Amino acid sequence: MRAVRGMRDILPKDRGIWRVAEKAAADVARRFGYEEIVTPVIEAAELIERVGEDTDAVAKELYRFEDRGGRKLALRPEATAGVVRAYFEGHLNQLPQPARLFLIGPMFRYNRPQKGRYRQFFQLDVEAIGGESPALDAEVIEIAATWLREIGLGDLRMDLNSIGDAKCRPAYLDLLRAYYRPLKDQLHGDCQRRLESNPLLLLDCKVPQCQPFKVDAPRITDHLCEECAAAWTAVRRLLDAAGIEYRHDPYLVRGLDYYTRTVFEFYPANRDGSQDALGGGGRYDGLAEAEGWPATPGVGFASGLDRVTEMMKETGAEVIAAPLAEVLVLADAGLEVAAAEVARICRTAISVAVDYEPKSLRAKMRSANKLGSRWVVLLSASEAGRRVAQLKNMASGEQAEVAWDDLPARLA
Ligand code: AMP
């Protein structure tokens, strides 16, 4: 039996780097006043489908199934829909606003597995729900930038854009359609189809034949309503003041109507744009309503921990060693009770494991060497009777008889 395609184990040797990334995320989030939330990996399929019908993550890649009770369910492909649901269901909307939340957990997408792309992957998700100040957009971006910098990934490029809102976007989309209509025959199939239904996605297209037309396309940031223009200016001013660099990318968009104003994405600095993003986010003032709740603004950020930890490895980020037992207790067969007691005594001061395998002391010593324990406690029947043991320092090779009860002081 093997792991399911696209699913993978994170083995102990790799968990250290994940722990660094997760701990830094929790630290940074807390420093900004964001509290942790956990939502189920299973949601009603309708919740996910209502808010993401046009996206690949939902349209083509959703893990959708019926449970034994005939409920139509989905494994979440992203966190925001569930977090917004929990915000209302848990009455966070009745507390002082905005609710500042973060979540770390697995997401599921039925896509084609490759390096950096898995069917179960993990995200750090940060959301500020219930506030419309552009300062929150900048705050979420600052959290992302701070976290990435603190885990050694400061060398990034951030792309930033505004995609307006329900007030100014429709008129802009008409302009965009008018611009692209005469070029329709020269676009690739998907873009020809999207031209009328969702022209914003034409700007995001990566197919070579569609690229030449982008430069002269109207830019939405030239067609924002007064409120969106003010927010666009405010976000950039706040980022400048925070010392966060960005590049205005007029082609950065989101294809769903409930996304408003700010959109951003983080990429490794020295790679081209076709490289997968390390994270991204934006404002979604129409999302709550799309879920059937009262209209409520929000802004958020999601980053893939699989890719982030992969990059941390490449950049040689410092890893906290896995909590390997610092002391290994080795005893002859039949001395399990004594060995467990010695371990219990040592454990008041230091991490300890006991080698209970039925093999010779010599063989156990070889394993201790391989494991890299700092100390070994050797226990023989005659010594156990006197409540003493041999304590060996693995680095220096020094060995001495020590009373069991003196071990914690010697090891601390
Ligand atoms: P998205 O919700 O598509 O904007 O994804 C947010 C982030 O999650 C991306 O920037 C990636 O870092 C990560 N991500 C998305 N899909 C996958 C996947 N299939 N495997 C690993 N990471 C992913």
Note the pLDDT of residue 352.
94
What pLDDT does 392 receive?
A: 96
For the record, the structure tokens of 343 come out as 């371990």
Go through the chain and tell me how many residues it has. 412
Structure tokens at 74: 């989905």
Is 183 part of any domain? no
**Residue 123, pLDDT score:** 98
CATH code where residue 365 lies: 3.40.50.800
The verdict on 387 and 359 lying in the same domain is: yes
Pocket perturbation via mutation, ligand 1, pick of 51, 204, 306, 311 by most ligand atoms within 8 A of CB: 306
- The C-alpha atoms of residue 69 and residue 287 are separated, in whole angstroms, by 29
Whether residues 253 and 397 share a domain: the answer is: no
Instruction: Decide: helix, strand or coil at residue 157.
Output: strand
Q: What is the pLDDT of residue 272?
A: 60
- Based on the fold, state whether residues 268 and 369 are members of the same structural domain: no
What total number of domains does the chain contain?
A: 2
Nearest CA to ligand 1 atom 18: 117
CA of 193 to the centre of ligand 1 (A): 25
Q: Which of 293, 314, 335 is the last residue of a domain?
A: 314
Domain CATH for 235: 3.30.930.10
- Closest C-alpha to 241, from 355, 134, 392, 313: 134
Helix, coil or strand: residue 255: coil
Q: What's the domain range around 23? A: 12-168+224-314
- Identify the pLDDT of residue 97: 97
Residue 87 counted as domain residue: yes
Q: Which of 79, 47, 71, 75 is nearest to 62 (CA)?
A: 75
Q: Is there a contact between 119 and 5 (Cβ–Cβ < 8 Å)?
A: yes
Looking at residue 115, its pLDDT comes to 86
Question: Can you list the residues of the chain whose pLDDT is less than 50?
Answer: none
Euclidean distance between CA atoms 270 and 102, whole angstroms:
29
Q: Is the CB of 304 under 6 A from ligand 1?
A: yes
* 140 and 259 inside one domain: yes
